[in-house]
Structure 1
Amino acid sequence: MTRLRWGGSLLEEARLNGSTKLLTVAPHAVAAEETTPAGELVVNTFTPALTDKDFRVRVTSRVETGGDRVSLGEAKLVVGGGRGVGSAEGFRVLEELADLLGGAVGCSRAVTSLGWRPHADQIGQTGTRIAPELYIACGVSGAIQHLVGAKGAKRLLAINTDPEAPIVTKADYAIIGDLHQVIPALSAEIKKKKA
């Protein structure tokens, strides 16, 4: 099996040798398939000894959501931005496009590291794994961790000034151009069609 180490920056090949095995699978990491019974299932019942103290909850932080926007993990369309967006304010055009199309806004790890977007918007191994019908990646270079988080997307449209960017080579469709010109033009066309 492969597991994430060091905050998702390293993939480790590991083997489960014990008689009891426990696995967790990240959302959208594998496609759901019908299964056939492969053998006898052994169920071990575990009853922990808990006290009232074990059920105390302490709020350590609060995260504001994107309002009426659909959640990143459930969105059928995601507009994502990378360092190429240029600033936190640069995401306004991505938000407008996502709103016009009923989608969600996501970002790369570089963007959250710069403080432009909250971690809840991060797409990748250490963020949210997405599986939309269409992922529009704007100014995203395409680091492997980001691509792993977006591999559930049915279609990928990359908008980037670098024709050699890893995300462009993995994309189903690519627009080589400045996202700050392409996205507003795309939004304007959508508004015309909706009028």
Structure 2
Amino acid sequence: MIAVLVEVEDGRAALVSQEALTFARGLAGDGDSVEAVVVAAPGTDLSAVVGDCAAYGVARVHVADSAELSSYAAAAWAGVLDTAAGDASVILAGGSNRGSEILAHLATRRDLPMAANAVSARVDGSTTTLQRQVVGGAVIETMTLAASPAILTLAGHAVEPVPADAPGAAEVVTTSPAIAADDLRARVVSVTPRAGGDGASLTRAKIVVGAGRGAGGPDGFGGVDALAAKLGGVVGVSRVVTSLGWRPHHEQVGQTGNRINPDLYVPCGISGAIQHWAGCSSSKTIIAINTDAEAPMVTKAAYAIVGDMHEVIPAILAELDKR
């Protein structure tokens, strides 16, 4: 059995979990089933999540809805996963902040190694050979986990989420693990929505317009905001922009920010350091705007415009207005 932690986002299985379910089907051998583990507040309508799980070939959905689990507590959620996963050969989660934290707690509970940011894997008995992203995605490392179950997270956007050829039964099973008081010592006690949205919209966006040091300062994003709005996309920025306080951290793309996989990414004034590339390399098409023709982002882009973003973007907007 392959057990997958499924996160809930806007009432559906989160994109990172859809990717993990797709990856899990590829790991399943003859006779293996893919089973999902979902933690939710009591009374939560999970019909759409169960439907998503069925579409991705899940045989069984383990649901824990104890009142003690209403707010996020990594150690307690790891306890749920520990119980529901049972003797699974692989325990998997998407490489989100929560997925990574919960599986780290689980690995500690079971005194087993954990591998993060996998991009491929092959299970052979009690040994799992996998490739994973390291150094911000600049290097792919091949490693072996000589332990069962294999506990691992999937790198964001390492696979395209694809529903199964035939839906799974998605039988819903309620799990009620004992929750120790110590597991609730660190938990979310309140949530305040961030003004202007959050990183979730950036990771789901089909079009992203990026900006880096070339913006020149906090007042240099007018054209970037306008282009993103005109294209129906969102804005993403490099680490230096957030470090300088020009834009909020939830807009950051990169190793220490969001990993994106839009159909179109337009980085403006971004050199393309390894850390930033780790967050945008899954973009399907990149059109770079930069004054430096030799900048890494320009050389890696499908298309590039060599010029000042403050001159190029207004010209693009004017042309789009004509059309």
TM-score, reference length from structure 1: 0.79
The Cα RMSD (Å) is 3.0
* 1:75 Cα deviation after fit: 1.2
Determine whether 1:88 maps to 2:223: no
Deviation per residue, 1:40-98 (Å, 9 max, x gap): xxxxxx9642168839632376522349xx91111111100111111121112100000
Q: CA deviation at 1:155?
A: 0.7
In structure 1, C-alpha distance between the alignment counterparts of 2:246 and 2:155, rounded to whole Å: 25
Q: Does residue 141 of the first structure (1) align with residue 279 of the second (2)? A: no
Equivalent residue in structure 2 for 1:107, among 198, 215, 237:
237
2:310 matches 1:185: no
**Equivalences for 1:34-53 in 2 at 5 Å?**
48-50=177-179
- Structure with greater proportional strand content: 2
Q: CA deviation at 1:33?
A: 5.8
Q: Which amino acid aligns with 2:238?
A: S
Cα deviation, residue 128, structure 1: 1.2
Q: For 2:190 and 2:137, how far apart are their aligned partners in 1?
A: 29
Distance of 1:190 and 1:3 partners within structure 2: 38
CA positional deviation for 1:10: 8.6
Kept after mapping to 1: 8 A contact 2:205/2:262: yes
Q: 1:97 to 1:83 in 2, by over 3 A?
A: same
Deviation of 1:3 after TM superposition, in Å, equals 5.0
SS at match of 2:148: coil
User: SS of the residue aligned with 2:224?
Assistant: helix
Could you tell me which runs of 5 or more consecutive residues in structure 1 were left unpaired when the two chains were aligned: 37-45
Q: CA shift at 1:136, angstroms?
A: 0.4
Tell me what 2:149 maps to.
Answer: 20
Name the CA distance, whole Å, in 2 between partners of 1:4 and 1:58: 33
- Structure 1 residues 166, 62: CA separation in 2 closer, same or farther (over 3 Å shift)? same
Specify the SS of the correspondent of 2:188. Answer: coil
Partner Cα distance (1:149, 1:57) in 2:
27
Matched positions, count: 180
Q: Which amino acid aligns with 2:156?
A: P
How much does 1:30 deviate? Answer: 3.0
- Give secondary structure in 2 for the equivalent of 1:57: coil
The aligned counterpart of 1:64 is: 195
**1:114-160 Cα shifts (integer Å, max 9, x gaps):** 11111111111221111111100100000112112111211100000
Question: TM-score under structure 2 normalisation?
Answer: 0.50
Q: Name the larger-Rg structure.
A: 2
Equivalent-residue separation in structure 2 for 1:35 and 1:18 (angstroms) = 28
User: Bigger relative contact order, structure 1 or 2, given CA contacts below 8 A and separation 6+?
Assistant: 1
Separation in structure 1 between the aligned mates of residue 188 and residue 290 of structure 2, nearest angstrom: 45
Checking the alignment, whether the CA contact within 8 Å between 1:75 and 1:104 is kept in structure 2 is yes
Q: What is the aligned partner in structure 2 of residue 125 from structure 1?
A: 255
Among 268, 287, 305, which residue is 1:157 paired with?
287
Seq. identity, %: 51
